[in-house]
Amino acid sequence: MALELYAHPFSSYCQKVLIPLYENATPFAFRMLDPGQSGDFSAEFARRWPLRKMPVLVDAGHTVVEATVIVEHLDLHHRGRVRLLPDDPRAALEVRMLDRFFDNYVMTPMQKIVGDAIRKPDTRDPHGVGEARTLLDNAYRWLEGHLASKEPEGEWAAGAAFGLADCAAGPALFYADWAHPIAREHARVRAYRQRLLARPSFARAVDEARPYRVHFPLGDPGRD
Ligand SMILES: N[C@@H](CCC(=O)N[C@@H](CS)C(=O)NCC(=O)O)C(=O)O
């Protein structure tokens, strides 16, 4: 049975999984999660994963959750030309650390800022949003130094090879820059974000999500 991906094109974590699928031209069926629209698969999605966090991958009837685990699952069971993790376990450890960095310290504060902007004004959390902005500033600063340490040949997060960490970085930095702009002084972070946007797999995911940009409450969705 073909792979099935329960997802929405505008979701950052769904894009994280679309990138490796597109990198390796892995065949899969897209199960759209868009409640209220025809062709919506939300009921089956909720049955498969009661926590209702997308994406969810179904592989021959087996449910796989959490974007990082899905990417690792693809690398293990549907390996393509582009490897998502290196064979060397020590090198793989750094890739996993960077994946955690992008999820925990870029994606999470970005989601906090965006989520707060969508809330009704009287339920907003300015203190939490302030903490999220500080965390993003610290993350951008750390990433600037990290990218410098990979120069001159390392154009991707872990060095020369594109992989899991870059799948996490693409959507995280893409939306984070809309929610809390990356300062000009972090030139390497800004250039890395542009390299990610130019990568055909991520460019395709970004293009497919364009119709939904009107729902994004922050930044300048007209750019990128
Ligand atoms: N830890 C999860 C996070 C997934 C996640 O936050 N997904 C968001 C979309 S980007 C979601 O499902 N939001 C819907 C909701 O929270 O109800 C993963 O890595 O897959």
Q: How far apart are CA 137 and CA 151, in angstroms?
A: 22
CB 205 within 8 A of CB 195: no
3-class DSSP state for residue 83? Answer: coil
Determine the pLDDT at residue 222.
79
Ligand 1 centroid to Cα of residue 70, in Å, is 13
- pTM score: 0.97
Ligand 1 centroid to Cα of residue 79, in Å, is 25
Ligand 1 centroid to Cα of residue 199, in Å, is 24
**Contact residues of ligand 1, CB 6 A cut-off:** 11-13, 52-54, 66-68
Q: How far apart are CA 175 and CA 91, in angstroms?
A: 28
Q: How far apart are CA 177 and CA 193, in angstroms?
A: 9
Chain segment 204-220, per-residue pLDDT in tens = 999 999 999 988 888 77
3-class DSSP state for residue 62? Answer: strand
When the pLDDT of each residue in the chain is averaged and rounded to a whole number, the result is: 96
DSSP 24: T
Q: How far apart are CA 151 and CA 204, in angstroms?
A: 27
Determine the pLDDT at residue 1.
57
Distances (CA, A) of 32 to 41, 88, 168, 215: 6, 36, 21, 17
Q: How far apart are CA 92 and CA 175, in angstroms?
A: 26
Chain segment 54-102, per-residue pLDDT in tens = 999 999 999 999 999 999 999 999 999 999 999 999 999 999 999 999 9
For range 7-35, the mean pLDDT: 97
Determine the pLDDT at residue 55.
98
